[in-house]
């Protein structure tokens, strides 16, 4: 980006808001602040931020409603930051359209890393050629539908390729079982989570050097899967 990115912080607790603002601005980014859901949506419309940090426990509305409202008109990356740590909470937020989920308390380093990932996704261009993903010896050329590991071609089934393509397009993000099922199999099989597990197991056997100790395609227990960010 040629300008300083703007991070919208939607958080009602003053100490956490101060911490987030100081951290973000201390690393060369601008911030906009909101303490309620209504104010957050208004700020998002007015300022068009590059990333949104969103607490779910807002005084006037649940943060999930904010995610859904923003997703109705914006593709700005949304990182949920919440004290709710149950798998169900994470799944609901991601299914609603959030890009990432951090459970309080979290480290400053982890938050900054997630923000950097979100900014990279925000700045991606060149849709005509399609991205090329490279990490840990794996290379995926989406434009040419070519997958190699350590220079050797990998043969994937159509379903395996669809899953890998989806993961590449969202590298660094958690994708829930429901999101993968909807994108690969359609909306009529959203309860068949074992479909995802079986095909991910097969995919790992092909793209990982050691499928028993994966470093590329990671499981987010009870939630879904995350493909390693590019090297």
Which residues make beta-bridge pairs with 102?
81
Confidence at residue 130, expressed as pLDDT on a 0 to 100 scale: 53
Residue 219's pLDDT is what? 93
Q: Is 1 helix (H, G, I), strand (E, B) or coil?
A: coil
What string of DSSP letters covers 113-175?
HHHHHHHHHHH---TTT--EEEETTEEEETTTTEEEETTEE----HHHHHHHHHHHHTTTSEE
What pLDDT is stored for residue 120 in this prediction?
84
Judge whether 111 and 55 are in contact, CB under 8 Å: no
In this prediction, residue 86 carries a pLDDT of 87
Question: Which pLDDT does position 29 carry in this prediction?
Answer: 95
Per-domain boundaries in the chain: 6-123, 132-227
CATH homologous superfamily of 6-123 equals Response regulator (3.40.50.2300)
Whole-number Å distance between alpha carbons of 35 and 48? 17
Q: Which pair of tokens denotes residue 53?
A: 């940090």
Residue 213 burial by CB count (10 A; 0-12/13-18/19+): exposed, middle or buried?
A: exposed
Please give the class, per CATH, of domain 132-227: mainly alpha
List, in order, residues 6 or more apart from 194 with CB less than 8 Å away.
none
Compute mean pLDDT per 10 residues along the chain, 231 residues long, and list them. Answer: 83 94 95 93 86 94 90 87 88 91 92 91 53 90 88 92 89 88 80 90 95 93 90 69
């Amino acid at each position: 980006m040629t300008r300083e990115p703007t991070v919208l912080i939607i958080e009602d607790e003053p100490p956490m808001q101060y911490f987030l603002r100081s951290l973000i601005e201390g690393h060369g980014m601008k911030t906009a602040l909101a303490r309620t859901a209504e104010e957050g949506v208004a700020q998002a419309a007015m300022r068009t931020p590059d990333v949104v940090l969103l607490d779910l426990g807002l005084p006037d509305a649940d943060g999930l409603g904010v995610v859904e409202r923003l997703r109705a008109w914006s593709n700005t990356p949304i990182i949920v930051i919440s004290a709710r740590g149950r798998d169900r909470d994470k799944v609901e937020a991601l299914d609603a359209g959030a890009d990432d989920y951090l459970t309080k308390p979290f480290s400053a380093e982890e938050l900054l890393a997630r923000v950097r990932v979100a900014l990279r996704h925000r700045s991606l261009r060149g849709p005509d050629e399609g991205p090329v993903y490279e990490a840990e010896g794996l290379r995926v050329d989406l434009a040419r539908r070519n997958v190699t590991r350590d220079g050797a071609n990998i043969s994937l089934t159509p379903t395996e390729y669809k899953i890998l393509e989806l993961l590449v397009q969202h590298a660094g993000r958690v994708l829930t079982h429901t999101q993968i099922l909807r994108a690969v199999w359609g909306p009529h099989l959203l309860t068949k989570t074992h479909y995802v597990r079986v095909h991910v197991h097969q995919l790992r056997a092909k793209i990982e050097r050691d499928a028993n100790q994966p470093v590329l395609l990671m499981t987010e227990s009870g939630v879904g899967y995350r493909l390693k960010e590019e090297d």
